[in-house]
Amino acid sequence: MNKLKFVSYMSVQAQTLRDTDIEELLFNAREKNRRLAITGVLLLIQGKFIQYIEGYEEDIDELYGSIKADPRHNDILLLDSGYIDKRQYTNWSMAYKKVRNSEIKNILGYTELKLDELFLSPPEEKTHPVLKVLYNFTHSLSA
């Protein structure tokens, strides 16, 4: 059975990527995602990546395996994963946004995401502040 699955994780940039590095990463990722019918979103916040990917289970497991081994980031923390009935990002092979501090403040009510502290404690399902930022961005896409 080829079930639809999603994975969401947070990681730390290995080094500050230039805009051209990000463009190259996105160009390749979008090409491969289109080929595998993988959709999702990538956020860059205060030097941390937050990504949500969705697609058929086998493809998602394989891609997440490649992503975990990618030297462009470290300290990968799984935020949430599971099965879904339908996609959230039908139109996006990989939406991308660099999130500013002012936007974080609008969403969370405070500027400092304190991601380093978040890495120390295991995320609580659905209540993780980072997921809040992610879902807020999702709604702005579908609005």
Ligand X SMILES: Cc1cc2nc3c(=O)[nH]c(=O)nc-3n(C[C@H](O)[C@H](O)[C@H](O)COP(=O)(O)O)c2cc1C
The residues of the shown chain that bind ligand X, judged by CB under 6 A, are 25, 29, 32-33, 42, 49, 51, 53, 63, 66-67, 70, 72-73, 94
| Nearest approach, Cβ of residue 70 and ligand X (Å) | 3
Closest distance of CB 101 from ligand X, Å: 20
**Beta partners for residue 6, in sequence order:** 54, 82
Burial class (CB within 10 angstroms; exposed 0-12, middle 13-18, buried 19+) of 140: exposed
- Give the shortest CB-34-to-ligand X separation in angstroms: 10
**Residue 45: its H or E element:** strand 39-45
Sheet containing 48-56, strands listed edge to edge, beginning at the edge strand earlier in sequence? 73-83, 4-13, 48-56, 39-45, 95-99
- Cβ 135 to ligand X shortest distance, Å: 18
Q: Which is nearer to ligand X, 35 or 114 (CB)?
A: 35
- Name which of 71 and 109 has its Cβ closer to ligand X: 71
End-to-end Cα separation, the chain, in angstroms: 33
Nearer to ligand X, 63 or 113 (CB): 63
Nearer to ligand X, 51 or 113 (CB): 51
Closer CB to ligand X, residue 49 or residue 113? 49
* Distance in angstroms (rounded) separating the CA atoms of residues 76 and 50: 10
CB of 109 to ligand X, least distance (A): 27
Q: Which residues contact 121 (CB under 8 A, 6 or more apart)?
A: none
